Structure 1
Amino acid sequence: MSDVDVLYTSSSQLTQKSGIQQLVLSHGSELEEISNIPCFFWGSITDSLLTAKCLMTISKVVRANYGPVDLTMFDPIVSAGTEQLRFEGFSSCNGVYARLDLLEDAIDGEFIASGTTNVDFNEPMLHALNSIKKGEKMVMGVGSKEVSVSTAKSKVVERNVSLPTRWIKGLTSVQLFLAGMEERFRLNKIQIIPLFQSIPKTAVKSNFYLSKRANKFVFSPIQTKDSVFIGGIHRLRLLEGLLPYCDHLIVYQEKDAETVCFVMDFGKMRLSLALSPSAYRGFSGEGNVLENMIQTVPDEWVQAVNSLLKSNEMFDPTLLSIEHDVNFDTMDALTASLSSIGLLGYDLNESQHYYRRLPFKMSRILALNPRLKNARKLVSDESVEFKVNTPPYIEAKVKGTDVEHTVIINGDQFRCTCNWFTNHQGQRGLCKHILAVKMLTKDG
């Protein structure tokens, strides 16, 4: 599967005019209506030093790689709307997800349009961000107000940048983990720095746990009651440059006690760092979203939601159901489907989904999930034969390649005789045979 080629009309750059730093993040999209928008946001940043350090941290994340394969570095994406900006991205190995939320008090400017786009973090701009001093005024533009932003000493070259398919898949799965998290610990400024100083300096294979002893937090390889599991703890060193500025650190953990998220609260802005269960396991390969994608979302539904909601706007399914006279079950299905194709992110601080306008076509999301595509082919080829179809108990035979598989579903329990299920036991999402059966059942 090839990456998404995104066209930039200019390079991102930071220039100085009359003593004011002006940061222009070039954007690109495969959607014409977004590509034709010259600028999403233009205005001042109220704390330029802290914002620059947070953006540098996001850059460190997207350039980090903790997997066994050396992958190419990629640029983060940004959502603009509802008086805030969200920068987000994944590490090259897709095992670390980071998001910077610039809240209303962090920015002073005009939102010209609402949308989400891929942005260009080039080396000259990163160098300029790293040199920003405290008290300097900085003006940020998300997008480019002109076709050319060249200076007397530099030439703007039109170039293509690939939006990695693993990122697209990651956006459709990481929010499922975030939505299932609950707050476990809250650390103050005094507790944060000593804790992070105890992180091993080199990569470690063993798992660690975060525990609270009296009024002190510690990392330990020993699990205790109420401790938080952390796989690949050395990945937390990505946050080191922000420790002196953090007011509070909130630790969230998912129900399965494997995925964890650290949220640094700076008052005007927040930075979230989510870690997959291990350094060698990325968010995009889980396949847990496939069950929610069984029900196809009609294009007109997506267009209707696009017309109702702005990027970053909180998504309240109950309110939407009441206001637009939509059946609650239908809205639940829509919410699950929108989440599964990446149109909904999740804000841990608000404990609520928010709407995200993606810079790529919806058809691309479905094309990235071959198991779902293969399941639909099984259905169209009439390869599923029900032996028992009396929910909650269902038993079916599914034709495979030179073999016939048995699928049994009993309420929330399911199993299949195929190799995928044998190897993963449902930990990486449903196999194509179970998906096909669920598509044909009343519950699917």
Structure 2
Amino acid sequence: MALIGNREYYKGIGEIRYEGKESDNPLAFKYYNPDQLVAGKTMREHLKFAVAYWHTFCGVGADPFGPGTQDFPWDRHSDPIDAAKAKADAAFEFITKMGFDYYCFHDYDLVREAESFSESESRLHTIVDYLKDKMKASKVKLLWGTANCFSNARYMNGAATNPDFNVLARAGGQVKLALDATIALNGENYVFWGGREGYMSLLNTNIKRELDHMGRFLATARDYARKKGFKGTFFIEPKPMEPMKHQYDFDAATVVGFLNQYGLQDDFKLNLEVNHATLANHTMQHEMEVAAANGMLGSIDANRGDYQNGWDTDQFPNNITEVTEAMITFLQAGGLQGGGINFDAKIRRNSTDLADVFYAHIGGADTFARGLLIADKILTSSPYTSLREKRYASFDTGKGLEFEEGKLDLNDLYDIAKINGEIPLQSGKQELFENIINQYI
């Protein structure tokens, strides 16, 4: 593999290859075999792994109790353009060594935000031109772009939902630039994460007005991108809270209702995150089932939370049961609509070697690949599917089918209930289903 860039940052680490589950090589995939066929597609086609620019190349291990612990060489440049180019060199070296096809970014992950809007725009144009060359040389593609409309102090009260119109307009300008960058880099999708779109207190909040503004803002962004020729999918990423007390994109069901209410359902789908699902007291499989049921299963941010901590810890996925159950829904839904699996995860604060980020991504990829393999076997070789279908067999013929087809009214249901009398219980066999999952794991 030829090195992409002028300097090698991850020295001593070559291309990560599949060696199988018997391998003891920590720098090799044990389950992720990109060319292996599963359910009619290669793993590469199913999973479309992407690297998150923000965590992998910008996150230095800082937390509320201390500064960062990871000293990235690309951050040592004082000039913001030099630093951005060095970061891009390191990013594309890492992505190509991992053998992944995609990356994702927030606008100011790529280059530091300037003191003025105009200078920030100039910096973005410069680094986008540089990224074009990196992408052409490496064949790495952009899964999606987005704008960071939550970190800067101006967005403390929200962006699209801010009570100050001038802040909303600034967010609109920033989203325009992020859309322009995404389009220029042939991005396949665009994400909106409303990190500050919500409230800290209802005492000073007009929910209806803020939701109306957010709906109009998203429609405005969509219309602009479509006029610019963007044909990709727009994603909303649900999260219930943190940093706000309550965020308007609380969970999949809330977002589905919002999109339908504001006429956005034809252009927008959901980008679901495992840790966000658990913060909403759901499983990832639940969120995926809700999205799939509404034709909106768009993309996945792969991570996990810490079961003892009630915040967004963004750890790399390693819970094989959790991922297997999610991949059952993934396969039953026919995969993702437009998106892929982005590792929105970060190495721990006390993982300070550059090699640690390889171990993390290898483990995450293997977890999803293994979950995909197990889910496929469950769906094709076990009684799981037939048992599930059997629970609803009464709707396949007779009066049950007539009900599904809308041919029965309430009087008809009354007559049937009167004839049937008491009904024998039908077991849900939950423990049997759980045993099937464990058996194939």
TM-score scaled by structure 1?
0.27
Question: Which has the larger share of helix?
Answer: 2
TM-score scaled by structure 2?
0.27
